[in-house]
Structure 1
Amino acid sequence: MGSFRPDPGITCLAYLQGAMGQSLRRIVALQADVLADQDPEPLHQLRVQLRQLKTLRLQFSAVGVWPEEVSSARIAKLGRRLGLTRDLDVLRQRIETGWLPLLPGPEASALKPFRKQLKRERRLAFAELTETLRSQRYLKLLARLQAWIKQPQGSALGDQPLRDWLPELQGQLLGDLFLLPGWTEAPTAAAALHQLRKRLKTCRYGLAHLHRSGVADHGSLLAQLKALQDCLGDLNDLAVLREALHSSLDLNPKKALPLFWDQLRVAQDQAWLRWLELSSPWSSKEQRLRLHGRLLGLTDA
């Protein structure tokens, strides 16, 4: 499916209609492959599309007049119900392809019960995912959204040219982003880092659809945001894995899996050093002001 490419003079409501229509078409097209469960990529793409849809709904909340069922909170809740299956897929892939081939025989054997448990948990999570995608709540959301896209209802702002309101539509994505504690917390502050990661995702998705449609040019900025987000994702995955090993095995993983445990520690240290490298420029007042100026239309930097 090609990207939505609006005319230069498109209104806010018409842009929202086109962007949401494209996202909904992709969501519907992915459902069969997700339920077939032959490849983890369709599920990943479905989660991405739901996040993008949620961001559009949130970012353009003042533009549309919305049915009750089409709220960013409801879209986010549905996305979370798909999240466990995807998270388990990522965790299992990292173990199977990244670490398992490097482990000596005794450690590989000691890890087998944990791998079996992850497989069982994934099977249960996928059953819940299937129920969600076939539920009346999910189908009703898609139907209400489709009806709104066919006949969009907008506020007075909806008739205004999109380009006239880009500063507000982009600037709101920042909000208190740089005041979140995750920028200055230690690597063990999982909750703060996770919250920061979610906000970076929202910011990136909110700028990405404008970039893809040719309304704005954010290529280099999107790459920076993705690098920050991915690094925090690595830290989160490693923290989840260490916690799961502690709580799931009837043994001390540090003693039973010394090489694996050491590899996890090294990987966490490397990810943290990478985070410090990527995040340190944003402690600069000048860097933050440049970003605010760019998104508010004050500069082209």
Structure 2
Amino acid sequence: MKFTPQTDVTCLVYVQGAMHENLRRIISLQSDVLADQDPEPLHQLRVNLRQLKTLRLQFSALGVWPEEFSAPRIAKLCSRLGLTRDLDVLRQRIDASLLPLLPEAEVVAIKPFRKQLKRERRLAFAELSETLRSQRYLKMLSRLQAWIKAPIGTALAAEPLHDWLPELQGQLIGDLFLLPGWMVPDASEPSSAAVLHQLRKRLKTLRYGLAHFHQAAVVEHGSLLAQLKALQDCLGDLNDLVVLRGALRTSLDLNPKKALPRFSDQLDAARDQAWLRWLELSRAWLTKGDRLRLYQRLLVLTDA
């Protein structure tokens, strides 16, 4: 059942309900993830764990939290699950988007790399399975479940949620627009990958931090969330392509442009397409007026 709080809900009751719904989804995904018949449950598990981490960060000043349930611990858990998902994404991109466009010689040349990805994926999934069955992971979920049943909050937690939406939403912005990723001149520069990836993570945190308010019908953020998702997807495509090119060099010890010219051209074309889309979408976020409108929206000064 979807979490729909009352209009006069307190901060503590709200975060209790939001975390309960999030935890329910995480637990329900466990068996399908371990069955490993479809990559989607793992993707959804990572999304829900990241949403849980964002909730924990966003409401950190409002709850008296169990020691086992900290944002760094959740982040570490997400990173342990991340390799399997990243390998799934790389394999899907190669097999569905790139491989059908290659000449037979390059299909043969890239076969050892595809086999290597499969081996790495098996090893990564074995570690993932161990993590999801570990006492550390199960204890974290158990402690959160116990907190949800009997939540403990600070004095601020008894305040009405709507009175504190400016702070709970405004903190998500921080120095977002000062990050260097906004000013990267060219995605092909080697130094651009790290700063664009940092920006992508911050946009994702902002999106997750606003999405639970939207889904619970506390604030209407539909159009804003769609914009954030589009920006995040562009940067995600760019990051995947950087990772794929680096994995080729490492695994096959070759220069993709020389050994796999058509494949390399396809990677360049995909990067250029994602970059042009990023420039188009990000332009509207960089003017002073657009930034001020976003600040006003998150500080609940306007409904625009």
Instruction: Say whether the 8 Å CA contact 2:249–2:255 is kept in structure 1.
Output: yes
Comparing 249-258 with 105-114, which one deviates more in the overlay?
Answer: 249-258
Q: Distance in 2 between matches of 1:242 and 1:27?
A: 33
Does 2:85 align with 1:82? no
Matched, 1:32 2:41: no
Report the CA distance between 1:250 and its aligned residue. Answer: 3.9
Whole-Å separation in 1 of the counterparts to 2:293 and 2:113 = 47
**Which position in structure 2 is the counterpart of 1:217?**
220
Name the CA distance, whole Å, in 1 between partners of 2:33 and 2:177: 36
User: Deviation per CA, 1:165-213, whole angstroms, max 9, x where unpaired?
Assistant: 1011000010111001111123131111111100001000000000000
Residue type at the aligned position of 1:109:
V
Structure 1: 5+ residue stretches without partners:
none
Q: Is the 8 A contact 2:248 2:254 kept in 1?
A: no
Q: Distance in 2 between matches of 1:278 and 1:19?
A: 31
Match of 2:301 in 1: 298
Q: What do the CA deviations read for 1:49-86 (whole angstroms, capped 9, x no partner)?
A: 00000000000001101111111111111011000000
1:271 maps to which of 258, 271, 274: 274
**Partner residue in 2 for 1:284:** 287
Q: Where does 1:60-209 land on structure 2 (aligned, <5 Å)?
A: 60-185=59-184, 186-187=186-187, 188=189, 189-209=192-212
1:44 aligns with 2:43: yes
The worse-fitting range, judged by mean Cα deviation, of 9-18 and 184-193 is 184-193
**Could you tell me how far 1:249 is from its partner in structure 2?**
1.1
For residue 82 of structure 1, what is the amino acid of its counterpart?
L
Q: Percent identity at matched positions?
A: 75
TM-score w.r.t. length of structure 2: 0.97
Work out whether 1:246 is the aligned partner of 2:249.
yes
How far apart in 1 are the matches of 2:268 and 2:274?
10
CA distance in 1, matches of 2:39, 2:28: 15
SS of 1:118's equivalent?
helix
- Cα distance in 2 for partners of 1:65, 1:137 equals 20
| Alpha-carbon distance in 1 for matches of 2:47, 2:274 | 23
Secondary structure of the residue aligned to 2:60 is: coil
Within 2, Cα distance between the matches of 1:67 and 1:17?
14
- The residue aligned with 2:229 is 226
Tell me the C-alpha RMSD between the 2 structures: 0.8
The CA distance in 2 between the partners of 1:264 and 1:206, in whole Å, is 33
Instruction: Provide structure 2 residue ranges, at least 5 long, that are not aligned to the other structure.
Output: none
Aligned length: 300
**What's the offset of the Cα at 1:9?**
0.5
User: Which amino acid in structure 2 is aligned with residue 157 of structure 1?
Assistant: L
What is the alpha-carbon distance in structure 1 between the residues aligned to residue 86 and residue 245 of structure 2? 14
- AA partner of residue 194 (structure 1): H
* Shift of residue 297, structure 1, vs aligned partner: 1.0
Contact 2:12/2:153 (8 A) holds in 1? yes
Post-superposition Cα deviations, 1:138-159, rounded to whole Å, max 9, x if no partner, equal 0110011001000000001111
Matched residue type, 1:216: V
- When the two structures are superposed, what TM-score results if normalisation uses the length of structure 1? 0.98
